[in-house]
Amino acid sequence: MAYLIDTDIIIYSLKGNKDVQKWMIANQNIPKSISVITYGELTYGARKSKHPEKNIATVTRISELFPIIDINKGIIEIFGEIKAKLEISGNRIDDMDLMIAATAIYRNMSLVTNNKNHFSRIKDLVIEEWEK
């Protein structure tokens, strides 16, 4: 199974987290991608940082290393289904996180995140934690 890397894992890696870096190396032969949502979140963070030019260059490099998965009709349909189910049960999750989860489900990928408690509310989402 391929991996969809969540924004927090990318940030941990950039900050030199040893657990994440160890997992990246150990799983280097498994395909890894990021959602266009993660790309947007990284771009936003770089633009508002104290060193936007340097950080935008880093985001550009990330986009060269990890294929970016765009949102499509199938992902949106899964997003709508998950959001409705969660709201009916009283468990809301941020729309951007739901888009990332829907992308992983649609593409049959494991979501690599450090936010297992948050994402574990989503049925059928396969989650891996690389940062402990």
pLDDT tens per residue across span 40-91: 999 999 999 999 999 999 999 999 999 999 999 999 999 999 999 999 999 8
Structure confidence at residue 40 (pLDDT): 98
Q: Are 65 and 4 in contact (CB under 8 A)?
A: no
Provide the percentage of residues in the chain whose pLDDT is more than 70: 98
pLDDT at 131 over 90: no
Structure confidence at residue 1 (pLDDT): 85
Please give the full DSSP string across 44-69, using - where no structure is assigned: HHHHTSS-HHHHHHHHHHHHHHSPEE
Element (H, E) at 33: strand 32-35
Report pTM: 0.93
In three-state secondary structure terms, 111 is: strand
- Output the domain CATH number for residue 36: 3.40.50.1010
- Expressed as residue numbers, the domain containing 104 is 3-128
| Total domain count, the chain | 1
Instruction: Report d(CA 73, CA 80) in Å as an integer.
Output: 11
